[in-house]
Structure 1
Amino acid sequence: MARTGQPRLDELSPRAAAAAVRRQLDATDLRAFVRSSPARLIAVGLLLLGLCVIAGVVTATAVSSRQHALDQLLDQAEPDANSAQRLYTSLSVADAAAGTAFISGGLEPKPVRDRYDQAVGEAAAELVTQSSSTGAADPDSRLRAGIAAALPVYSGLVETARANNREGHPVGAAYLSEASNLMQTRMLPMARELQEHRSAAIVATQRHHVRPPWAAIILPIVALAALAGAQWYLARRWHRVLNPGLLLASATLVALLGWIVIAGSISAVSTVHGRDDGSVPTADLTESRILVQQARTAETLKLVRRDASGDYDHTYDDTTAKLTALLGEYPGGAPGSGNVGTAREALDRWKGAHQRMNDALARGDFPGAGSIAIGPGANEAAASVDALDAALADGLGGTRNTLRANVSDAARVLDVLAPGALILALLAAGLVLAGLWPRLREYR
């Protein structure tokens, strides 16, 4: 029985019946939509809250990880690399000083002896530093162990050579050559490998740091897109153009994204400066110091062995050619460039002294050649080598300070970003809740 005043469908014309059915279906869909709106609104709110919180957590984690890596570079990796560089250099200095002392004959001058003793002592101290800072589980422990085992053997050979030299025994030169061969073929290659590994750790951290933290950038953008979509949905459903809470949440995420991009860019730029003005020139200057000592060793061994084969001259020429190229290619505006200019002048004086030494040897004037090689004059080989090495050491100090300053700047820029990202993300989540709450209350 149909309700009073409402005709039955079979009493209507086909067209009127179809229209009545459509009206009933539309009313049913509308009631279903209204009943489902709170659930949809809650789902939208949970999605926005989750995206805001996840964006904050991911950003804070990424920033903390990067800052920790920079702090570790500053507190451990860079000091380890500097220690390895000092070990490498000290061993080279010791080998060159041993030859210089031997040329003096009998009791060598005290400054020359002190230089050798200081270099050996510094090498031993750096071995201890390397062992204590990295531990036995370090993959380079075999290198440290190899150098530590060979160092007393080398020192013993040098002392035997000196003892025989004081007694006037020619065999002393053979012992010194054996010691230098041990240094050049075993100890220095291991020290070089150790130094390269330590420097590679710095470069790897710098390379990783200049890459953008994509997750920390993309997630806030996704959250912003979701907020924009939610505002469009609310505008259609409630016919309001703007939702103050969602609008403020969007502004908060925009601030977070801008902070990430700006702070990350500044930190990356500081890292690049640390690499280009610190790590790279430090490696060049370290290599230059090693080449100086290798050339000096070849020069002194030629006198010790009174070699006429030309092998030591070939080593000296090749080594100084590499040294000249390194110093000539050093950037003019880089830290330590003034010291490199001083080093070039000292290298020119040394080459001139070396040529005069060879000319004296060609005349059979061995005492004169020895005087040129180890004499106290400012234009003699010994003084030139000392000035060259001192200039390079000063340059290394400047590049190291530049590296550490830039790494410190890169880390400090990120100091408050990690907690700030969490605070801003939670603030955005709170603003989302504040923006949706009035709409939810409409269904109570």
Structure 2
Amino acid sequence: MAARAALRRRYWASLPARLRLLRAATVSLAVALAALLLLAGLAASGTWNTVAGRDAPRTTSAADLSLALNDMDAQAANLLLSSGDAGKGRLETPYEKAFGFYGDARREIGHDLRTLAVAAQGDRADERTVESLTDNFAEYQERIGRALENDARAGGKAAALSDYRTATDLLQGQLLPEARTLVDSNDQAFDAEYDRARSTLFVQLAAVLNLGVLLLVALGVLQWYLARRFHRILNPGVLAATVCALLAVLLGGQALSASATHLRVARHDAFDSVVALSRARAIAYDANADESRWLLDPGRRDQYGPSFLAKSQKLYGLSDATLSDYDTELAQTWQMYETDHDDLEFTGEFRRELDNITFSGERAAAEKTVQAYAVYQRDDRKIRALVAQGKEHEAVEFCMDWQPGTSNAHFGAYMAALGKVTDINRRHFTASVSAGRSEATGVLPWACGLLLVAGALTLLGLRPRLAEFR
């Protein structure tokens, strides 16, 4: 009891003691809130660095790897289709373009594998996947190299086709499934990081608001107590400290709330579309490769025809559609969608993108992509009809030519349209990352500074009053 009485006399019984206690509580709350905002800013800055420097790049690298693998295999088939007999009768422009694209795809795969190897460090499952990809890609290159060597000699078409079959089987059976595994794994890791970061931001926001209310209450009590004891309406120092504290709480709360919004826009509004469109691009290249494989290898047409349709269904899914009626159903369901955007008559990656329209110009660009896709699909049916009529050479030329009105020209327009939609979402992802970083490195430091000023003003405002008791 004696100890409690001594503590009461020291910290509360006298007017100076009460002022010192209120001063200590106010300054402590200001410092604690400043420290919380500082830690929140550092955590948010770290989150944005992780999102922009690790999570997004490794997901897109895995998607780019799938695309480049499909492109390389498609170009290998195009080289074999357009080469003629040991160079005789070669389709020069298609061959040269295929040769250039083949080299570009091979270099892109090497770059993506290196990027993914670095990103996989510490994740044993991803490390094993990248190791397997690297080994299988080396074998794939060897098989394709043999196919091209055999094709370069007279009478080597049969051997070249056998080697190409082995290579494309390895691609479909090992390389592409492993690449898709990496896309899913990295995207899920990004999602987990997003969920953790958003949860942390909301906890920090709640803590900032609670501490801010306590600080403002403490400053209000202090102002009231000074007015009551010293018979003055307002203490200028405490009033200025209250204004600074209020601004700091508003700025800090707004910054954390805005960071959460920017994170949602970056991850779900923008990057979900980037992933869906990257998948669509990889599937489109794989389907285009199936078209070339179908022309190159008559013995496997029963395999490559259904495969082309299955990949088309992944892009623009139509229940029970076959190659013969796919175009008609596509046109009908697309007309229904244009009348009612909530119409659910088709599925697939295009549907996923159309259901996630967020940004200005995105819907128009996405719709142009589907329209270009429909043109490309009609070209595929023309190729198959030419073959059915015994006009195989004309079918190959129409498939591989780059002149306006040919299949490759339309495929290029389709990919360009798809690229524009992806670029819109990439730009908004980058803008959201930049805006989130600005909140963390620009606004929150100002809020911390205002709180420190509030603490200093509180000390200065009370100094003359305490000096009266010396």
Are 1:317 and 2:309 an aligned pair?
A: yes
SS of the residue 1:152 aligns to: helix
Specify which of 388, 403, 420 is matched with residue 429 of structure 2: 403
What amino acid is the match of 1:85?
Answer: A
1:50 CA drift (Å): 0.9
Change (3 A) 1:98 1:390: farther
Range with bigger deviation, 59-68 or 337-346? 337-346
Q: 1:274 maps to what in 2?
A: 266
Q: 1:184 maps to what in 2?
A: 172
Q: 2:111 maps to what in 1?
A: 125
SS of the residue 1:413 aligns to: helix
Task: Provide Cα deviations, 1:173-195, integer angstroms capped at 9, x if missing partner.
Answer: 33222211211222122222323
Q: 1:83 maps to what in 2?
A: 61
Change (3 A) 1:423 1:332: closer
SS of the residue 1:443 aligns to: coil
Whether the aligned pair in 1 keeps the contact of 2:30 and 2:215 (CA below 8 Å) is: yes
Change (3 A) 1:34 1:413: closer
What amino acid is the match of 1:111?
Answer: K
1:391 CA drift (Å): 3.0
Q: 2:344 maps to what in 1?
A: none
The correspondence of residues 280-299 of structure 1 with structure 2, limited to 5 A, is 280-299=272-291
Are 1:193 and 2:181 an aligned pair?
A: yes
Gaps of 5+ in 2: 1-8, 317-347
Q: 2:96 maps to what in 1?
A: 110
What amino acid is the match of 2:209?
Answer: I
Task: Provide Cα deviations, 1:287-325, integer angstroms capped at 9, x if missing partner.
Answer: 110111121222222223314763322221121133234
Range with bigger deviation, 148-157 or 102-111? 102-111
What amino acid is the match of 1:156?
Answer: E
1:332 CA drift (Å): 8.4
Specify which of 248, 252, 259 is matched with residue 256 of structure 1: 248
Change (3 A) 1:352 1:399: same
Are 1:343 and 2:369 an aligned pair?
A: yes
SS of the residue 1:379 aligns to: coil
1:266 CA drift (Å): 4.0
Task: Provide Cα deviations, 1:19-73, integer angstroms capped at 9, x if missing partner.
Answer: xxxxxxxxxxxx9999544333322221221111111111121122212322443
Specify which of 394, 399, 406 is matched with residue 373 of structure 1: 399
Whether the aligned pair in 2 keeps the contact of 1:335 and 1:402 (CA below 8 Å) is: no
Q: Which runs of 4+ in 1 moved over 6 A?
A: 31-34
1:141 CA drift (Å): 2.6
1:427 CA drift (Å): 1.5
Gaps of 5+ in 1: 1-30
Specify which of 225, 237, 244 is matched with residue 245 of structure 1: 237
What amino acid is the match of 1:163?
Answer: E
What amino acid is the match of 1:404?
Answer: T
Whether the aligned pair in 1 keeps the contact of 2:144 and 2:167 (CA below 8 Å) is: yes
| Higher-Rg member (1/2) | 1
The correspondence of residues 114-263 of structure 1 with structure 2, limited to 5 A, is 114-131=100-117, 134=119, 136-137=121-122, 139=124, 140-166=126-152, 167-200=155-188, 202-204=190-192, 207=195, 208-209=197-198, 211-212=201-202, 213-235=205-227, 237-238=229-230, 242-263=234-255
Are 1:326 and 2:349 an aligned pair?
A: yes
Whether the aligned pair in 1 keeps the contact of 2:63 and 2:282 (CA below 8 Å) is: no
SS of the residue 1:378 aligns to: coil
1:135 CA drift (Å): 7.2
What amino acid is the match of 1:298?
Answer: D
What amino acid is the match of 1:102?
Answer: L
* RMSD (Å), alpha carbons: 3.1
Change (3 A) 1:419 1:356: closer
Distance of 1:332 and 1:341 partners within structure 2: 14
SS of the residue 1:46 aligns to: helix
Whether the aligned pair in 2 keeps the contact of 1:77 and 1:201 (CA below 8 Å) is: yes
